[in-house]
Structures are given as structure tokens and as C-alpha cells.
Amino acid sequence: MNIIQRMYEIHELPTLPEVILKISALINSDEGSAASLSRIMAQDPSLTTKILKVANSSYFGQGNQRISSLSLAIARIGFNEVRNIVTAMSCIKQFSKRSTILDYKLFWRHSLTAAYLTKIITDSYPDKFSAEDRQFLFLTGLLHDIGILVLDQFFHEDFEAILDNAMKNEISFLAAEQAVVGKETHQVVGSALLEFWKLDAAVISGVRFHHLGFEKASSNYRLISIVTYMVEYILCNCSLGSFEGSIAELDKAITETFKITPDGMALLFAAAEAYVDKSDLIIAMGMSGSQNEFRMI
């Protein structure tokens, strides 16, 4: 029985945090406002407290008067940014646990920085991306390596064998995966989990093809897959690639799609480094009081 078949037989598979479903429904409705977002968040006092801490942090406060109102926090940080932060903190809280070999703080630093890099790229090419694309890409960046968590928590012996193979043979995590588990790499495992969650096909595609292969993606989602691959390339080549190793060559589809120059790529590398402190702040809030196990279905 292969990993995907075994995965679907696991009764303790993680579920998507309910607050993310509510926020997604709100964004897709005609009632998306600071007040409606405030009402959703107010149902989770701990989440509200964390957002207030973020709003009053040096990153967002910058000497401004301290605030204690959720609506003012949303106004200070911004509606879309609060949505992104709540999504990130909820995922981090839900899907973090102690691991004997995986550093979850480094894992989420990589994932959250990837999410923010998608924002930089979409802002740089406003004509290429719709508002919906931007929402999908942030979530895709955040969850692109979720398959690694599944391997660590539910297929730990396979995960250890992959890491051992990578270290002994001095190869990338992806190459070691292919040697140990064949086609069922963390891309495939992660996208299978997102299908289980019934997330949008655009997000599933981005996760499925974030290590090349995006030419196989549906034409409707190929751009999202390309962007997800590009942020993975950047992070894996600037010491923010967790343990996955560097990616030797940038696929020519990237330069053809975005007409990106070496100087432009260097700016994206610098942007990744600049987002580390912000990512660490959100991760600290998300991991504070996180569950030690995945929530049971």
C-alpha cells in the first residue's frame, strides 16, 4: 500500500482551522469589512489577544499610541494583512508539535516567508494577478510544504530514511525523497491533503507543482504554480530553505513569464531576508500555546 492510500486511512489527519474557513467565506462574500472580520476573531479571545500584541509590536506600532481595540488593530495593520496573519497563526497553532528531527520554527519561517514573497511578486506584477489570485497565493506559499509535516508526523520512519539518504549522499531533500518513496514526494502528499480539505484547485495546484512540473498544471492555475516554484527557488538558495537544500537552476519559464533580470532576482532575495523578522513575530504568536498533536477529526 502506498503513502497516499495509507494516508487516507489515518483517522487523525489534520483538519483546516475553522477560522480560516470563516475568513475565506467572508472574503468571498459581499460583507468583507473590518467589522465583520472583527466579529469572527472575537469568537477566539486568544487570537484577539495575539493580534493586539502584533499591532502594538515595534514592527507595526512604530511609536504610535498603544491600542486595546480589535477594530483599531485591524485599522492599524490593514484588513488584508490581518487576514493573512490570522491565517498564518491559525495554521501554525493547529499544525505544530514536538518533533525529534524537524525544527518547526525553521519550517514555519520558510513557509511564512514564502507566503509573503508571493505578495511581493504579485504586487510587482499587478496586471498578471487578480485579487483572488493573491489570496490563493498567500495560502499556497504558507502550505506549500505541508506534506513534510504529514511525513514527519504520520510516516516518521520514511521521513527519517529520506533525511538519512540526503545526508549520506549529500543530495537535496527532494532527490532523497524520490529515491526512498518514488513519486509520492511531499508535493504529492501535501496536495492530497489539500484535496481532502477541499481547498480551491488553484492552491492544490501550487502545492503540487512547487518543485517544477508546473507545465503539467492546468492552464488556469499554471501562473500560481510558477510563482510558488519561484519563491521556493529563492528561499532554498538564500539559507531560508529549511533542510531541503539549494535548487541548482531556475527554470526558463520564470524568466519568460516575468522578464526578470538578475538584479530583479537579487531584490527578491533581499526581500526574503527582510521578511524574516516579521515572520518570526507571527510564528512566535502562532506557536504560543500551540497544540502538541494534530486535532482529531
Asked if 83 and 47 count as a contact pair (C-beta separation under 8 A), the reply is no
Query: Splitting the chain (297 residues) into consecutive groups of 10 residues, what average pLDDT does each group show?
Result: 83 81 72 77 86 88 80 87 88 83 91 93 90 89 94 92 94 92 92 90 93 82 92 87 77 83 88 87 80 37
Nearest-5° Cα angle at 115, 252 to 21:
125
For residue 166, what is its C-alpha cell? 540526503
pLDDT at residue 295, rounded to an integer: 35
Question: Do 121 and 268 form a contact (C-beta atoms < 8 A)?
Answer: yes
Q: Give me the pLDDT at residue 247, please.
A: 81
Confidence at residue 10, expressed as pLDDT on a 0 to 100 scale: 86
Distance (Å, whole) CA 103 – CA 95: 13
Domains of the chain: 3-287 (1.10.3210.10)
Q: Which of helix, strand or coil describes residue 54?
A: helix
pLDDT score, position 256 = 82
DSSP string, 186-243: HHHHHHHHHHHHT--HHHHHHHHTSSS-GGGS-TTTHHHHHHHHHHHHHHHTTT-STT
Backbone angles phi, psi at 18, to 5 degrees: -60, -35
Enter the pTM of the model: 0.89
pLDDT at 46: 87
Q: Are 93 and 290 in contact (CB under 8 A)?
A: yes
The pLDDT of residue 31? 64
